[in-house]
Structure 1
């Protein structure tokens, strides 16, 4: 090839490469500018889309707000073996809970939460209300202030989420559980203590009969954990509640299912109690965690003051249980309640999940004076398999050891029950 042609080619190649590199740099800069513009637009309009630290819930966050969408599904099945002819409890299945859960923060100091249970739509039965939590909370100083519908601060099992309770249903102390009501609450906590105090009216979907005065409560709880580290907890708690049943003209009723919700049978039931002026509740709590072993118990005493010559009443309930993780996990404890179980080895990632066994004894006494609501003693054997932190399978065998309710068809019924649950939350 001619030397002049070769020289031209050799000089042309660097020039072409230099021009190509310049164009590529310009295009890269333009692309980076476009990406930055899109990021600013996303932040200004829709927020940043991300998953929460637990890896389950969808969350949106901007400079001044956050929004998290979650939910839960709990499917139950139960079979019953009554020992007395004619006592039918109804084997079957039920969607126990089907939650939509929305929560978030506004301007750092304002929290909010809304829960709706599609398995419990509005109805005439006060136990069948769809609206669960519905509140806003200000955390700009201590104590935090909560407005809206939330759980009254009474009872360790009651305040622990249904996702994290050791047994499928609560023990017989649940007969005195106040559940959620509209109120104003104050609360604060640290690693070793917590307190909460609130004034409450009626539930969100509870109509006041004849447009009369609402019932009202003053409820408070104090907890102390002298030992609180990973896998080692000692918990002590004290709770009190003053209930004034003005909405029903001084009438109320205590009744409870046999530690299974797949039945409408109430083995213990005081029927309607009249002339009730007020009710005082006192609750004591204790729990320990030592590695995979945990022991927990509660006692509730209830005193009814009555007028118009009606006799005052004292009713009570208590339970105690022990649980053990065969795979070595420990119950998680935070702010005076027990939290989610995280398996050491997750199913689907080469593990077998977390396996837990538990045994509970519970007793309720609704017999006092002229009132024969029943005295019940139960023992429950439970097995839990946590396949992942948010998928759990549970089985409970419940034996009614004693039912003392003279004059009632269920008197001396020694019921055997098997209850199964499948749950997932996100």
Structure 2
């Protein structure tokens, strides 16, 4: 907890410190400028085509997991979930760049590290980035409805990768595609790096006051090191501060993976809805080829008047309270409910199934601060961890997060 307070103070004090005013320097009055000089003085300075904008985020989590007596991984836990620092750079000619590091990792890891170009509905990005993952993953972790994303996102190993992508957007439609290899931190041996291809299409019409999002995506991956490094599909119990996975497959020597899914969402005033379904197919030489499945459905509602969840560009955006705390209001208060399903049993592989019933409440006093609390009941069958020989049981999970961002 001491580390959390020190980190928070380190981030907030520079922002809150008042600037020191310089004392005026007395000197002889300047002579009147010539007419041409006066016109030049009145002309506004040309805005630079280069812009540098620092960015950071800090998230500290608390959690408690309870279950049957003797179950591993229960009890209280807490962690500094994310401590990221980076910069957005705007350049002439439609170019931009982002570099951001994660300081909770040892060694420090890149989160985003890319250069992009945008022009006339077309965009091209090179570097480490998200390759059109599910809606719940494309949405920033600053703006999710729960402290962790839907089970399918982590279980099916969606993550940032290094490569080249391009996209086209016109009206209500956008499509993105790209090719990639492993994340930057894993690019140590070219012969062992994976190759992948990705595509995602989204239609975002508006019907009256309702914004709608309909999408589909496909991912193909060839794992060069499949004979050396097995892949596992597994998931924590909604919180990240525990290492226990109650649902998990054994290591699979999968040479190729295909992941495909559909997504839908809608926003009308204070209400929002989101749902996704994804399939994960693993191809193995000389063995059965399992297909695993994950899906969720979520609804949410703002208790504060005038607040709504932004939905545009293929993802949910940041909450900006209509009446923030520093403007005489109480900020934005949101409640959410989610059903989260994951099935890791197929083709002779027993990884278990999860049925999750979840609820959360989020208070955003300002656009740069967020407080979250959540509860989940997770029911498992064929769990990876047994209790007195029983693999069918449930756990209760309580979590909370304090979040600051700039």
- Tell me the TM-score range normalised by the shorter chain: 0.7 to 0.9
- The aligned counterpart of 2:391 is 411
Report deviation, 1:29: 4.3
Match of 1:132 among 111, 134, 157: 111
Match of 2:314 among 313, 336, 341: 336
Q: Distance in 2 between matches of 1:304 and 1:371?
A: 11
Aligned-residue RMSD, C-alpha: 2.6
What TM-score, normalized by structure 1, do the two folds share? 0.81
Give ranges in structure 2 of 5+ residues lacking alignment.
1-27
Distance 1:217 1:344, change over 3 A: same
- The aligned counterpart of 1:315 is 292
SS of the residue corresponding to residue 348 of structure 1 reads helix
SS of the residue corresponding to residue 239 of structure 2 reads coil
Q: Is the 8 A contact 1:84 1:413 kept in 2?
A: no
The within-5 A match list for 1:365-380 is 365-380=343-358
- The aligned counterpart of 1:393 is 371
SS of the residue corresponding to residue 282 of structure 1 reads strand
Q: Distance in 2 between matches of 1:390 and 1:133?
A: 20
Please say if 1:108 is aligned against 2:107: no
Report deviation, 1:64: 3.4
Report deviation, 1:236: 0.3
Report deviation, 1:28: 5.9
The within-5 A match list for 1:56-71 is 63-71=48-56
The within-5 A match list for 1:202-221 is 202-208=182-188, 212-221=191-200
Q: Distance in 1 between matches of 2:140 and 2:104?
A: 17
The within-5 A match list for 1:33-112 is 63-112=48-97
Distance 1:247 1:141, change over 3 A: farther
Please say if 1:232 is aligned against 2:217: no
Please say if 1:197 is aligned against 2:177: yes
The within-5 A match list for 1:235-384 is 235-249=213-227, 251-274=230-253, 276-307=254-285, 309-328=286-305, 329-384=307-362
Report deviation, 1:404: 2.7
Match of 1:172 among 139, 151, 154: 151
Q: Is the 8 A contact 1:90 1:263 kept in 2?
A: no
Report deviation, 1:92: 1.9
Report deviation, 1:26: 5.3
Residues 65-90 of structure 1, C-alpha deviation per residue, up to 9 Å, x if partnerless?
11111111111111121223242334
Structure 1 runs of 4+ off > 4 angstroms? 24-30
Residues 51-107 of structure 1, C-alpha deviation per residue, up to 9 Å, x if partnerless?
xxxxxxxxxxx6331111111111111112122324233412111111112112111
Q: Distance in 1 between matches of 2:170 and 2:336?
A: 29
Q: Is the 8 A contact 1:199 1:219 kept in 2?
A: yes
Q: Distance in 2 between matches of 1:74 and 1:228?
A: 36
- The aligned counterpart of 2:134 is 155
Q: Is the 8 A contact 1:245 1:252 kept in 2?
A: no
Residues 350-388 of structure 1, C-alpha deviation per residue, up to 9 Å, x if partnerless?
101111101101011111132111111111110000101
Distance 1:266 1:94, change over 3 A: same
Q: Distance in 2 between matches of 1:90 and 1:114?
A: 37
SS of the residue corresponding to residue 246 of structure 1 reads coil
SS of the residue corresponding to residue 137 of structure 2 reads helix
Q: Is the 8 A contact 2:267 2:309 kept in 1?
A: yes
Q: Distance in 2 between matches of 1:179 and 1:169?
A: 14
SS of the residue corresponding to residue 93 of structure 2 reads coil
Residues 16-49 of structure 1, C-alpha deviation per residue, up to 9 Å, x if partnerless?
xxxxxxxx9854649x979x89x99xx8xxxx9x
Q: Distance in 2 between matches of 1:348 and 1:66?
A: 28
Q: Distance in 2 between matches of 1:111 and 1:395?
A: 36
Give ranges in structure 1 of 5+ residues lacking alignment.
1-23, 49-61, 123-128
- The aligned counterpart of 1:181 is 161
- The aligned counterpart of 1:19 is none
SS of the residue corresponding to residue 351 of structure 1 reads coil
SS of the residue corresponding to residue 108 of structure 1 reads helix
Q: Distance in 2 between matches of 1:203 and 1:262?
A: 23
